[in-house]
Amino acid sequence: MPSATSNERPARARSRISARLAGKKARRHICDTIVLDTMVSRLSPRYDIPNAAPAPLRLVQEFVNSIDLEHGREWLQEPHDLKRWLVKRKMLDPSASVRAADLRQAHALRESLRELLRSNNGAGSPEAAQAHLNRLARRSKLVPQLDRQGATVLVPFAEGAVSALGRLLAVAFQAMSDGTWVRLKACRQCRWAFYDYSRNRAASWC
């Protein structure tokens, strides 16, 4: 008849195996969670079609939403992130360099635009943001020009990333002229930019 000790050995072995398997599953779960969180943090913002601004104003909306303030996700963390964003939208030549100072200017422009969008939604104080946009317009050398159809457009005559930021600013100025700007708003709660298609211009995001 087997002794009590010999009966306990298989049980202890099975217990150790179960513990190792449980540990592996736990580590795998942690790794999967880290990978998933990393993937989510790097994904570009998504837009609900009814709340996406018409082109080219959508460029401004996408730029403002290149950070998710509510969840702490930043898509323009480094100069190369800004370069990739601008090149993808054909606003910057791939051979151009983007420096840390350019990234700081982009972040400042983004928040100034957001402040104006908050003002469109009945919140915020736009005076400082307006002054900042005027300074950037001068720095990017925005000049009115006539396009091939004879329409007036704003063209930045600066170079590099400053010129690309000037193009974004020109899109915003054009929207202010054609009446679409007032419909681009920032949510009062999460500050996400959305386009208000409602008849009475009273839509909300959150």
Domain count, the chain: 2
65/151 same-domain check:
yes
pLDDT tens track for 141-164: 999 999 999 999 999 999 999 999
In terms of residue numbers, what domain contains 38? 1-43
117/180 same-domain check:
yes
Global pTM exceeds 0.85: no
Whether 201 maps to a domain, the answer reads no
pLDDT tens track for 97-120: 999 999 999 999 999 999 999 999
172/107 same-domain check:
yes
31/121 same-domain check:
no
Strand 152-156 relative to strand 142-146: parallel, antiparallel, unpaired?
Answer: antiparallel
32/58 same-domain check:
no
10/71 same-domain check:
no
65/129 same-domain check:
yes
6/37 same-domain check:
yes
Cα distances (Å, whole numbers) of residue 74 to 42, 70, 100, 132, 157 = 8, 11, 15, 22, 29
37/60 same-domain check:
no
